[in-house]
Structure 1
Amino acid sequence: MTSSKVTSSQPCRPPRPNLAFRRLRGPRSPAEFAAEVRRAAREIGEQVSCDARYVGRVEAGEIRCPNYAYERVFLHMFPGRTLADLGFAPRSSVRGRGARTTTSAPAPAPTGDPDGRHHDHEESDVLRRAFMTGGSATVATASLGPLALAPDASAARRPARRAGSSEAGALEEAVRRIRLLDDRHGADGLYRRAAAPLRAAYALLDAGATRQTTADRLHAGAGELAISVGWLAHDSGRFDDARSHYAEALATARVSDDAGLEAHAFCNTAFLARDTGRPREAVRAAQAAQRIARPLGSARLMSLLALREAGGWAGLADRTGCVQALARAQALFERGPSPADPEWMTFYGEAELEGLEAQCWSALGDWPRAARHARRAAHLQDPHFTRNIALYTAELADDLARGGHPDEAAQAGLRVLELLGQVQSSRIQTMLAGTARVLLPHRHASGVSDFLGRCGGLLRAG
């Protein structure tokens, strides 16, 4: 793959300093900032050898556009921003489309760039994951398997062949099946098994495609699969892994110029930020998703994204911002479904709307209102979505407990414990453990002692 630091193509143009990037560095020294870049790279499984000299070259404008590895890291460090926001030139202005079809052997460093060889080994396609050990398109397709959850393949590397429509179809089916199993059983038992099809998906991209339409399907499928695996990590409490997978999906979306995938990645990034105590990032990511999704024509998608924003405002204790976002979400939802709604949004119905609103009111400390919406969510949910029924009922139990209704909270908690025989979700277990701790002072109330006794393992684990 050719180097992205094409400074020799316009030798007469002096470099223009990258002032935006310099502002983002702030008061940190180049060496301190380089250390942060390396740390951020490790968080998402990327490998870069950033040092003070590299930072200086970026700020001096010598590197007009970073390679894909650095792109992923910078977008991870500054969520919601584009390369243009970071002061870089469009990739199309520094490398031609033909670069995508070059061989995997790195090109020599441009003349006059003695540091090029140092960074060429980092010039990996954004779709080549650090943990991917190889495998051809044939092995990749086999790994997707009928259930898309086959064990990791250990076959030796074989010559790759270009992927066709059958491989793209297998990838799309893998995404559907993983989502189906998650809906029924939760994430804990699926996450590690889903790693193999994810590696297979990126192996398909690495092998290339026979047609551009197939390549587009592969990019979209790989990105959606990265989001699905990220969600499995998210729901099972592996937040760093989830953040990495969502960043992978976001990078894939931007490489393939896929607005729908980019909006989806930002949507999940906002949800994760809210769940990990970064509400302001949740607001920013949700707002970025709305800007991207607006031209797509799906009122239901815009409704969900408004709810993601509402969750961020609730985490910031901004009741006004939350209420305004909730009102937008409700109004957009009432416009009804449309052919423009993404396939992944099948989970988003009235039950999810009620459940997410319940979470907002809970974050704002309005327990009666939160319990009212959580109860409606559990009642409205399609029985197919077992995990969501357990989630909404766990939310109801916690809201009732904090709102001073220990007996009703215990009854709801016992219903969740029954569902946990079918559902494996660390998130739900963590919620139940929190509810149990709230109910400890009421252990003599009707039903509470039974609930606490059955929650003993969860309490010890928490």
Structure 2
Amino acid sequence: MATSREVRNPAFRQLRGQRSPGEFASAIRRAAREIGEQVACDARYIGRVEAGEIRCPNYAYERVFLHMFPGSTLKDLGFSDRGAVRGRGLCPGAEQPSQFHTGQIDTGQIHTSQSHTSQNNEESDVLRRAFMAGGSAALAAVSLGLGPAPVPSQRRVGEAEVSAVEAAVRQIRLLDDRHGAAGLYQRAAQPLAAAYALLDAGTARRTTANRLHAGAGELAISVGWLAHDSGRFDDARSHYAEALATARVSGDPALEAHAFCNTAFLARDAGRPREAVRAAQAGERAAKQLSSPRLLSLLTLREAGGWAGLGDRTACSDTLVRAKSLFAQGTSDADPEWMSFFVEAELEMLEAQCWSALSDWPRAAQHAERAAELQDPHFARNLALYRAQLADDLARAGAPDRAAAAGHQVLDLLDQVQSSRIQAMLAGTARRLLPERRAAGVPAFLERHASTPRLV
């Protein structure tokens, strides 16, 4: 918290005024949504800014801050010039991907470096640029610094190593949000092993141990999601179970709720709808210990997906009503950081999937179209996912021309997005459109889809 650190950015501290760090973080998240950004701002981030640990915000935060304080510059807000922070040792115009802030996880070890602390403290838009410039998930993984990491045995784990784990979670999520999971999974499993090795090494303080358990558990869920989205369901199930066990050991209801949320999602995708219902309900019980209506809303939507898979239209409809009522209560300071993706567009998408599972294709298409309209185009992976859902629902609803048009929009995004899930959905749509070759736009879509490279 900022109150426990020396304030090295008084300008930013003055902007906070009488608000608590948590209240100020909530205001920043609201401002981000106003301009279509999604930032994982919490009280700890505010503390790090005020303490001078973040000398220059990443590009998303910069846009939000300048929106909140019109007419101000980053210098007015107490930040350093971006070039001064990043430009050391670089060619003019070049940007170097950052490693994990405060600590680093690289191909040799987990270690700290005072000389890198101030430079490596963004969860970073530079990674996205490196990914796009290199055109491969392998380069993105290298940018993350993902590699095997034996743990130093000569001392206990401290703040730097825990911060490295937390940063790894954020960076993996950032790349997945932008580009999808394929290609990241194998490399992301390596820092996960390092995180659990840190748990075995032990920590000097209980608060540090709690953060490390939470960070390792969240990392297990993130890696599990990469496996999930890549079609490796058994691997995903194992990682989610690992996160759940970590939550139970550390008595962390927030981590437990997250693990059950993803387990329910996986169960639905794997054709185990009853398990999806049970896992979602277990997550709801854990989430009731928190004060986050949005978290309860998401878990309730997971439950609705299970009921839809069971063909229980009444239970699904009732659960959707409850989920939307919870969502309407708005955000809170207790909302978990990982839920930044859960905006109205995602709500519409999850409802579309429910109606699709109940074979109500026109209704599903209506919600999928709404999801695609609402989604921030900055997040290419979700936009491609929503449009793939829309294309399939339209094909099933007997609108092949509109399905082909939506399919083209997905293909437009596949040079940015690597997701086995999305490619599988689009392949299913193409198969459904084969008998509709005479419909407007369908032949061109089928030809283009057939010539698109598939993920290995």
Pairwise same-fold verdict (TM > 0.5)? yes
2:418, 2:455 within 8 Å by CA — same for their partners in 1?
no
Counterparts of 1:457 and 1:284, CA distance in 2: 42
* 1:234 partner amino acid: H
Q: CA deviation at 1:457?
A: 5.3
Question: Match of 1:430?
Answer: 424
Task: String of CA shifts for 1:170-218, please: whole Å, max 9, x gaps.
Answer: 1111111110110000000211121121111111111111111000000
Question: Match of 2:228?
Answer: 234
Q: CA deviation at 1:383?
A: 2.0
Task: String of CA shifts for 1:383-416, please: whole Å, max 9, x gaps.
Answer: 2221110000000000000000000000000100
1:160, 1:207 within 8 Å by CA — same for their partners in 2?
no
2:109, 2:149 within 8 Å by CA — same for their partners in 1?
no
Counterparts of 2:454 and 2:159, CA distance in 1: 50
2:242 corresponds to 1:248: yes
Task: String of CA shifts for 1:66-119, please: whole Å, max 9, x gaps.
Answer: xxxxxxxxxxxxxxxxxxxxxxxxxxxxxxxxxxxxxxxxxxxxxxxxxxxxxx
2:318 corresponds to 1:324: yes
Indicate which of 257, 267, 274 corresponds to 2:251: 257
Counterparts of 1:428 and 1:321, CA distance in 2: 28
Aligned residues: 326
Task: String of CA shifts for 1:293-345, please: whole Å, max 9, x gaps.
Answer: 11201000000000000000000000011001100110000000000100000
Q: CA deviation at 1:459?
A: 10
Question: Match of 1:311?
Answer: 305
2:224, 2:237 within 8 Å by CA — same for their partners in 1?
yes
Indicate which of 144, 152, 177 corresponds to 2:147: 152
Aligned pairs for 1:278-317 (under 5 A) are 278-317=272-311
| Deviates most, 158-167 or 380-389 | 158-167
Question: Match of 1:163?
Answer: 157
Question: Match of 2:379?
Answer: 385
Question: Match of 1:376?
Answer: 370
Aligned pairs for 1:111-190 (under 5 A) are 139-141=109-111, 149-153=144-148, 159-190=153-184
Counterparts of 1:451 and 1:160, CA distance in 2: 60
Counterparts of 2:318 and 2:371, CA distance in 1: 21
* 1:140 partner amino acid: I
Indicate which of 201, 218, 232 corresponds to 1:207: 201
Seen in structure 2, the aligned counterparts of structure 1 residues 457 and 312 have a Cα distance that, compared at 3 Å, is farther
Counterparts of 1:220 and 1:185, CA distance in 2: 25
Question: Match of 2:333?
Answer: 339
SS of 1:423's equivalent? coil
Counterparts of 1:301 and 1:141, CA distance in 2: 34
Question: Match of 1:407?
Answer: 401
Indicate which of 440, 446, 451 corresponds to 1:446: 440
Counterparts of 2:243 and 2:252, CA distance in 1: 10
Q: CA deviation at 1:346?
A: 0.2
2:266 corresponds to 1:272: yes
Aligned pairs for 1:7-46 (under 5 A) are none
Give the gaps of 5 or more residues in structure 1.
Answer: 1-134
| TM-score, length of structure 1 as denominator length | 0.67
Counterparts of 1:405 and 1:459, CA distance in 2: 26
Counterparts of 1:336 and 1:326, CA distance in 2: 16
Counterparts of 1:323 and 1:401, CA distance in 2: 24
* 1:278 partner amino acid: R
Seen in structure 2, the aligned counterparts of structure 1 residues 254 and 383 have a Cα distance that, compared at 3 Å, is same
Counterparts of 1:332 and 1:419, CA distance in 2: 33
1:149, 1:193 within 8 Å by CA — same for their partners in 2?
no
Q: CA deviation at 1:162?
A: 0.8
Indicate which of 213, 217, 237 corresponds to 1:219: 213
2:357 corresponds to 1:363: yes
* 2:110 partner amino acid: A
1:140, 1:197 within 8 Å by CA — same for their partners in 2?
no
Q: CA deviation at 1:460?
A: 8.8
C-alpha RMSD of the superposition: 2.4
SS of 2:144's equivalent? coil
Seen in structure 2, the aligned counterparts of structure 1 residues 154 and 389 have a Cα distance that, compared at 3 Å, is closer
Counterparts of 1:431 and 1:457, CA distance in 2: 16
* 1:150 partner amino acid: G
Seen in structure 2, the aligned counterparts of structure 1 residues 154 and 343 have a Cα distance that, compared at 3 Å, is closer
Q: CA deviation at 1:140?
A: 3.0
Aligned pairs for 1:73-112 (under 5 A) are none
Question: Match of 2:188?
Answer: 194
2:293, 2:331 within 8 Å by CA — same for their partners in 1?
yes
Seen in structure 2, the aligned counterparts of structure 1 residues 141 and 299 have a Cα distance that, compared at 3 Å, is farther
| TM-score, length of structure 2 as denominator length | 0.68
**Aligned sequence identity (%):** 70
Q: CA deviation at 1:141?
A: 4.3
* 1:442 partner amino acid: E
Seen in structure 2, the aligned counterparts of structure 1 residues 160 and 153 have a Cα distance that, compared at 3 Å, is farther
SS of 2:319's equivalent? helix
Task: String of CA shifts for 1:428-452, please: whole Å, max 9, x gaps.
Answer: 0000000000000011211111111
Q: CA deviation at 1:454?
A: 1.6
1:307, 1:326 within 8 Å by CA — same for their partners in 2?
yes
Q: CA deviation at 1:160?
A: 4.4
2:110, 2:152 within 8 Å by CA — same for their partners in 1?
no
Task: String of CA shifts for 1:211-249, please: whole Å, max 9, x gaps.
Answer: 110000000000000000000000011111100000000
Counterparts of 1:388 and 1:353, CA distance in 2: 12
Counterparts of 2:265 and 2:149, CA distance in 1: 35
Query: Could you say which structure has the larger radius of gyration?
Result: 1
1:186, 1:425 within 8 Å by CA — same for their partners in 2?
yes
Counterparts of 1:154 and 1:226, CA distance in 2: 16
SS of 2:289's equivalent? helix
Question: Match of 2:44?
Answer: none
